Structure 1
Amino acid sequence: MQNIIKINFIIFFLFFGANVVAQQHPSLMLTKVNIVAIRKGCDSLPILKTSYLALKADADEALSTTINVPKPVDGGGGYTHEQHKRNYTSLLNCATVYQITSEKKYADYVKTMLLDYAGKYQNWPNHPKSKSLDDAGKIFWQSLNDYVWQIYAIQAYDLVYDTLNKTERDKIENELFIPILKFFTEDRKVVFDKIHNHGTWNLAAVGITGYVLNKPVYVKKAIYGSNLDGKTGYLAQINKLFSPDGYYMEGPYYQRYALLPFILFAKAIQNYQPELNIFKYRDELLAKAIHTSLQTTYTNKVFFPINDAIRDKTFESIELVYGSNLAYADIKPDADLLDIVQQQNKVIISDAGLKVALAIAQNKAVPFNYQTLWIKDGAKGDEGGIGVLRFGQNIDQQCLVLKASSQGMGHGHFDRLNLLFYDNGTEHFYDYGSARFLNIDTKGGGNYLPENQTWAKQTVAHNTLVVDQTSQYQAQLSLAESNHPTLLYFNNTPKLKVVSAKEDHAYENISLIRTSALLKIDETEKPLLIDVFKVIADKPHQYDLPFWYQGKIVNTSEKIIAQRNNLTALGTDFGYQHLWLNADKKLSSASGFISVLNKNRFYTTHFTSNQPLKIKLVSIGANDPDLNLAEGKAFILSQSDFKNQTFISVTDTHGNTNPVKETVTDASSIITDLKLVEDSITQTTISFKAKDKLYIYQINYQNKNNYINIR
């Protein structure tokens, strides 16, 4: 251990002993001044060493195969698509290994491949599989992938620059990179100036390439926009796409994706133009964005699948590996970021990765601080937000998410006041995410499927209210983008965490108010999820409130008999056409419950209302001829032909099963007698019993100082 600390001190001195000099190569993530220290770290620091060995194994595998630069013909997931993705990864891997080993074979690989691309690129037309002439790439079916390719390729070029002679550099720059810069800024000027993640990738590729090639005009355009007026470009992207809390308007999944070009370009700016203080820009917003991205994950590492999300994406993705490394090394050395890095089990072979690996070797890591937060949305922080309520240690944490944010542009779903609930390391009330098989060519070319529009974006696919079997904002993007929910109340105390929000525009002349809480009482081991969804309307409507759950129903307050054959779809449009109606039961009493066994733990949701309820059990799969839809089950609290409506639910987490020992404990909820005591425009009061102790839970909608009253 003493030897490691001694070596670490040498590395520390080498790392901080000099500043980056512009136009030295390499000069991006891995800089010339720190190469000796990084080489030592790859030998002595455990996480840096294992990360390097894994990268070297990939580089060696690339060297063992013949370089292949095929003419692009395939869509996402097709042969040429995947080959060009492998190529840009291999370029960066081999170039990085060259810097650590000084073995020329790795640099020669990069040189040969870049020269191959340079000899072919200008002869390639716009991609034949593109869906839009304005968004076609040359290497890939959409230009977005071309931007990603360039960001990897230019880093590789920077790493091997000093091994190339002038003739080789001229060919690569003049026949590959300069034509790429012109294609990105001229042919794809609309994308370059677009305030969107595609625009971010474009301008980051242009800006980083401009630095490496010493083309300041391209750097200026990337930072300040095509017209150099700041209305578009990198700084405008930061200003318009992120809230003051660092929340990215398209949602957590796309925040993860968009972070990489933001932080890579920031690192290049910092290295080449430190006087711009880019990491301090807008009150260290990029650091906030990285932290906020991590806060929009559950303790199983998975991002909240809001909007067009791939549901199993975790913070182990390469974007957050870069993000956590740079946030710690270049902005603020928060020790809990080291916990994230340890869970990622890798660092970037770079200046930042060295600093992080050194801190981990010095045992500076502490558990990541998951927080209860109201995360503001909108450039000014005034377009709603995401409420995240957490209770318990990271090892077994409850987490409630209320989505009360803006639309999220074209990737947004029509699900204002959507509720997600996590416990026991998994989802209980979950979100479908997107209808997409990413990069699987046989499934719509790996792109979003038609069912993304007909199902995944529709309101009934989420845990929020549907009026008259019609999606919020009639599923029209322009209408949804013009409005946003409003936060009414947020509270974070040890035993009561509450978020309450209002949506006035999703349906004409209807106000929606959802107040969701985690309440810890003495009688229960885990907090209760208390959810009150109030609807105020000018005339009667049909109301459906779905709860999409994981697990299997094991008990109900009243016997529900499912359909045995001849299933029919629940409706004809707005997602209802994709739902099989498995059972339909009108409650004989004012309240009821459904118990679900999920990951060996019981969840009993008690419910009541101000009007008699009907329970509908549904599953996904109707009108799905190509079998594109994932399995899913929900119970829907339904009410027809009433004006004002309040749905009350209390979810009790209790007991467990042990399949190995064949034991079951606490299979029944201790919550009983759920009642709606009083309900008006200004107040909702409910009561319930826990082991015969009576609790009164009151919401005072117009009293911020006494919004929730419990007795």
Structure 2
Amino acid sequence: MKIKKVKYIKTLQAALLLLLMSSLHAQEHPSLILTKQGVKEIRSQLGKVPLFDASLVETKAEVDAEIALGIIIPLPKGFSGGSAHERHKNNYQVLEKAGVLYQLLGDEKYGIYVRDMLLGYAKMYPTLPLHPEKISYARGKLFWQALNDANWLVYASQAYDCVYDFISPANRSIIEKDLFRPFADFISVGSPQFFNRVHNHSTWGNVAVGMIGIVLRDNQLIDRALYGLKEDGLAAGMKDNDGGFVKKEGQKAGFLANLDEPFSPDGYYTEGAYYQRYAMYPFLTFAQALQNNKPDLKIFDYKNKVLLKSVYALLNLTKTNGEFFPLNDAQKGMSYYSNELVSAVDIAYLYAGKDPSLLTIAKQQGRVQLNNSGMAVALGIKNNLEKPFVKKSIDLSDGSDGKQGGVAIIRSKMKEDELTLVLKYASQGLSHGHYDKLSFSFYNNSTDVLQDYGLSRFVNIEQKGGGNYLKENASWAKQTIAHNTVVQNETSHFGGNFETGSKFASEKYLYDVSNPKVQIISANENNAYPGTTIQRTMALIAQDGFEKPFLLDIIQLDSKTVNQFDLPFYYLGQLMSTNFAYETPNNLETLGKANGYQHLWKAGTAILTVDNAKVSWLNEGSFYTLTSITQPNDEFFFVRIGANDPNFNLRNDPGFIFRKKNVQKATFVSVLETHGNYSPVSEVALNSYSCIANLKIIYEDANYIGIQIKSISGVETVFILSTENNKSNQKHHLIIDSKTYEWTGPYYK
């Protein structure tokens, strides 16, 4: 009996020892992004890898300057761009960098800085009420919105992980009890309208809670981050005083839901490239942390590797110079040189098979993350492994199942030059979406030829509405007339109603880029205006007699009622000429009274009598001419943005509008030419005139539309589209003006 008891005790002691060893291993730090083994590997390469070393020197100089300045933790007040906001933002960024420097350099001054900063926040945090600014649907405590609080926690959790073992158990207890645990609870159970939905805001919240949950080895927090708040945790406080989100029965939430819902199978993020860029940091950073701590989850394989696909999607959603196309709410000028994309490219390189084309982007970015993914990239560049990253024509589907429309990108490259068409036929894009079905933008290299306005906001500039969205974002930037697409009866698509717009997406009819000389996208929109169908077909065509490929644009409308249709084009640069007379008013009036029209000055008007209306302009050394087929009594307006804008929040960009009135069926056909050049140094203009002699519709019925383009040099181009049958093996036979056209597939060229 005693022998059995002794054996039992020894067995129990062995089990407890194994449990203790397992627990000690589980508590190893750092383990989020950096790991002990990873730090060891990085240290062995320091001084040998130029790009990594340069990034380290730059980071060290920044953090040393902050340490010399001293720790500053102001009481929260003000909006984005304000001194308190920017200081707290700077603090969390420097915290993370200091933690990394402590691990890589072993200098205790960085550990001391992180410890003292966190103790300072731990002293203040329990005393904080909600932020004094009350305009957010989910207010934070450190910042005016919970989103920024989540930003803080994502970065601070990494800093804490890096210096965890440096901080004494007593101080860790204070930091966790008074700061991190109440912080995680506040942005989750305390802010369900923020945390428990599908949106880039919630992704940051989910990741913040998950990151600190891993550091604290708190499975409840990790579970909350991955799967959202459970129903029993939502009994109270579901709607805050600012009119926040209320979780609907059965609705998904959490990090995995934010991977499932907004991302299409192609990696396109439904809110658009600007917000996809913003969300990539939490998505990929948490993925790294999960890979290090929950490898069985296989997060980088989730949804057929959608996170890695998303990096490639983002890189393709850029102009020649790396600036993102401004789809939906988007600040123009944002590019893949942002910190989020440096992180994304590094992580994708490490976890996507070390694709050498990503090294070309990283080399252009000129810096790397100070972790194993950054070291992998820097080593690849050191060893000259990079290969060109080639942006090709691509059609990116939208929607979790890829069936909610999409964004088509068509590129035509000629030596060092590139023309790019972007047609948006996507879903609404959540709260950041615009009412702009079948809108497009067009670029000559990195120059906007026909532009998308983007958003009305000056991000983090306090003087402009605290850096927040301006009221003109809703009254102008989101309205249909602000985009290069059709407007019916001066009302926006779906009546500018978010709930209605969120139910529908346009439908792709045809996307074919197999022939580099004729690349085509065609899509249908049947819900923007009840009773009206819209089909837009755009083709980038390389043709003899034209200096560069021209853009053919065909819009066919069929309505059950008589309507007015407006088609705007927003260009940049200086007007050169028109081939028709127009009048300019002595006193400016607005084009309309609502739905964005109130923001347009009527700068010129014409009643068109020509068969082809030509508008030419010059921008950044190139000439452009838009030739449009017109009918008698079609109206034309030169417009300029900026009316009813007392605070000068809008750019005063020019545009022009073609209008057809009192019609049930209407067809807009235009050709945009890119031609010639002008040098202010030589003062010589070359090829400054249009090459088109005549543009006309030679056939149109319920099944086909045929367009003829004659150049001045005598070259005749005929394009025929089968508008009802897009099968690639379908044979067509059509007689137009006694001439027989036979072809197989959706179009003839």
The question of a shared fold, defined as TM-score above 0.5 by the shorter chain, is answered with: yes
Task: Confirm whether residue 75 of structure 1 aligns to residue 79 of structure 2.
Answer: yes
Residue 352 of structure 1: aligned partner: 373
Q: Which amino acid aligns with 1:604?
A: T
Task: Confirm whether residue 632 of structure 1 aligns to residue 636 of structure 2.
Answer: no
Could you tell me how far 1:63 is from its partner in structure 2?
1.0
- Any conservation in 2 of the 1:609–1:676 contact (CA below 8 Å)? no
- The SS at the match of 1:321 is helix
Residue 122 of structure 1: aligned partner: 126
Residue 293 of structure 1: aligned partner: 314
Task: Confirm whether residue 187 of structure 1 aligns to residue 186 of structure 2.
Answer: no
Q: Which amino acid aligns with 1:121?
A: Y
- Any conservation in 1 of the 2:79–2:462 contact (CA below 8 Å)? yes
Q: Which amino acid aligns with 1:155?
A: Q
Task: Flag the 1:153–1:475 CA change in 2: closer, same or farther, 3 A.
Answer: same
Residue 556 of structure 1: aligned partner: 578
Instruction: Tell me which of 380, 396, 399 is aligned to 2:417.
Output: 396
Task: Flag the 1:155–1:609 CA change in 2: closer, same or farther, 3 A.
Answer: same
Per the normalisation by structure 1, the TM-score is: 0.95
- Give, in whole Å, the separation in 2 of the partners of 1:269 and 1:39: 23
Could you tell me how far 1:700 is from its partner in structure 2?
1.0
Q: Which amino acid aligns with 1:209?
A: I
CA RMSD of aligned residues (A): 1.6
Residue 60 of structure 2: aligned partner: 56
Residue 217 of structure 1: aligned partner: 220
Instruction: Tell me which of 513, 517, 530 is aligned to 1:495.
Output: 517
Task: Confirm whether residue 167 of structure 1 aligns to residue 189 of structure 2.
Answer: no
- Give, in whole Å, the separation in 2 of the partners of 1:646 and 1:42: 64
Could you tell me how far 1:610 is from its partner in structure 2?
5.5
Could you tell me how far 1:163 is from its partner in structure 2?
1.1
- Any conservation in 1 of the 2:227–2:257 contact (CA below 8 Å)? yes
Instruction: Tell me which of 537, 542, 546 is aligned to 1:524.
Output: 546
Could you tell me how far 1:496 is from its partner in structure 2?
1.1
Q: Which amino acid aligns with 1:626?
A: N
Task: Confirm whether residue 566 of structure 1 aligns to residue 591 of structure 2.
Answer: no
Could you tell me how far 1:21 is from its partner in structure 2?
6.7
Could you tell me how far 1:643 is from its partner in structure 2?
1.5
Q: Deviations over 1:661-710 (max 9, x none)?
A: 11111111212211111222221111111221111111111221355544
Per the normalisation by structure 2, the TM-score is: 0.90
Residue 663 of structure 2: aligned partner: 642
Instruction: Tell me which of 681, 687, 701 is aligned to 1:666.
Output: 687
Q: Deviations over 1:187-246 (max 9, x none)?
A: 112322111111111110111111111111111121122229993211111111111111
- The SS at the match of 1:218 is helix
- Give, in whole Å, the separation in 2 of the partners of 1:321 and 1:23: 29
- The SS at the match of 2:528 is strand
Residue 306 of structure 1: aligned partner: 327
- Give, in whole Å, the separation in 1 of the partners of 2:46 and 2:574: 49
User: What does residue range 226-305 of structure 1 map to in structure 2 within 5 Å?
Assistant: 226-227=229-230, 231-305=252-326
Instruction: Tell me which of 161, 180, 184 is aligned to 1:158.
Output: 161
Could you tell me how far 1:393 is from its partner in structure 2?
5.9
Q: Deviations over 1:402-458 (max 9, x none)?
A: 100000111111000001101132111111111111112221121111111111110
Q: Which amino acid aligns with 1:157?
A: Y
- Larger mean Cα displacement after TM superposition, 376-385 or 612-621: 612-621
Q: Which amino acid aligns with 2:534?
A: L
- Any conservation in 1 of the 2:209–2:225 contact (CA below 8 Å)? yes
- Give, in whole Å, the separation in 2 of the partners of 1:435 and 1:44: 46
- Any conservation in 2 of the 1:697–1:708 contact (CA below 8 Å)? no
- Larger mean Cα displacement after TM superposition, 701-710 or 491-500: 701-710
- The SS at the match of 1:88 is helix
Could you tell me how far 1:149 is from its partner in structure 2?
0.3
Residue 13 of structure 2: aligned partner: none
- Give, in whole Å, the separation in 2 of the partners of 1:27 and 1:526: 54
Residue 624 of structure 2: aligned partner: 603
- Give, in whole Å, the separation in 1 of the partners of 2:671 and 2:745: 18
- Give, in whole Å, the separation in 1 of the partners of 2:386 and 2:283: 26
- The SS at the match of 1:114 is helix
Instruction: Tell me which of 92, 95, 100 is aligned to 1:91.
Output: 95
- The SS at the match of 1:125 is coil
Could you tell me how far 1:394 is from its partner in structure 2?
8.7
- The SS at the match of 1:369 is coil
- Give, in whole Å, the separation in 2 of the partners of 1:22 and 1:681: 68
Instruction: Tell me which of 29, 32, 36 is aligned to 1:25.
Output: 29
User: What does residue range 369-518 of structure 1 map to in structure 2 within 5 Å?
Assistant: 369-392=390-413, 395-492=416-513, 493-518=515-540
Structure 2: unaligned runs, 5 residues or longer: 1-23, 232-249, 729-743
Residue 657 of structure 1: aligned partner: 678
Residue 591 of structure 1: aligned partner: 612
- Any conservation in 1 of the 2:32–2:214 contact (CA below 8 Å)? no
Residue 112 of structure 1: aligned partner: 116
Structure 1: unaligned runs, 5 residues or longer: 1-19
Q: Deviations over 1:635-671 (max 9, x none)?
A: 1111111121110111111110111111111111212
- Larger mean Cα displacement after TM superposition, 435-444 or 479-488: 435-444
Task: Flag the 1:671–1:60 CA change in 2: closer, same or farther, 3 A.
Answer: same
- Any conservation in 1 of the 2:320–2:445 contact (CA below 8 Å)? no
Could you tell me how far 1:583 is from its partner in structure 2?
0.5
Could you tell me how far 1:612 is from its partner in structure 2?
4.7
- Give, in whole Å, the separation in 1 of the partners of 2:568 and 2:337: 31
Q: Deviations over 1:575-614 (max 9, x none)?
A: 0001000101122211121111111011111110466532
- The SS at the match of 2:69 is coil
Could you tell me how far 1:370 is from its partner in structure 2?
0.6
- Give, in whole Å, the separation in 2 of the partners of 1:22 and 1:518: 57
- Give, in whole Å, the separation in 1 of the partners of 2:355 and 2:558: 45
Larger Rg: 2
Could you tell me how far 1:380 is from its partner in structure 2?
0.8
Residue 5 of structure 2: aligned partner: none
- Any conservation in 2 of the 1:699–1:707 contact (CA below 8 Å)? no
Residue 4 of structure 1: aligned partner: none
- Give, in whole Å, the separation in 1 of the partners of 2:103 and 2:578: 64
- Give, in whole Å, the separation in 2 of the partners of 1:59 and 1:35: 19
Task: Flag the 1:230–1:461 CA change in 2: closer, same or farther, 3 A.
Answer: closer
Residue 107 of structure 2: aligned partner: 103
Residue 546 of structure 1: aligned partner: 568
- Give, in whole Å, the separation in 2 of the partners of 1:43 and 1:31: 20
- Any conservation in 2 of the 1:590–1:613 contact (CA below 8 Å)? no
- Larger mean Cα displacement after TM superposition, 649-658 or 36-45: 36-45
- Any conservation in 2 of the 1:604–1:653 contact (CA below 8 Å)? yes
- Give, in whole Å, the separation in 2 of the partners of 1:371 and 1:611: 41
Instruction: Tell me which of 697, 703, 706 is aligned to 1:676.
Output: 697
Deviating above 3 A after TM superposition, structure 1's stretches of 4 or more consecutive aligned residues are 20-23, 228-231, 609-612, 706-711
- The SS at the match of 2:308 is helix
Task: Flag the 1:395–1:143 CA change in 2: closer, same or farther, 3 A.
Answer: farther
- Any conservation in 2 of the 1:41–1:49 contact (CA below 8 Å)? no
Residue 141 of structure 1: aligned partner: 144
- Any conservation in 2 of the 1:396–1:425 contact (CA below 8 Å)? no
User: What does residue range 333-344 of structure 1 map to in structure 2 within 5 Å?
Assistant: 333-344=354-365
- Give, in whole Å, the separation in 2 of the partners of 1:230 and 1:31: 36
Instruction: Tell me which of 558, 563, 568 is aligned to 1:536.
Output: 558
Could you tell me how far 1:522 is from its partner in structure 2?
2.3
- Larger mean Cα displacement after TM superposition, 145-154 or 232-241: 232-241
Matched residues, percent identical?
Answer: 39
Task: Confirm whether residue 206 of structure 1 aligns to residue 209 of structure 2.
Answer: yes
- The SS at the match of 2:271 is coil
Could you tell me how far 1:320 is from its partner in structure 2?
1.0
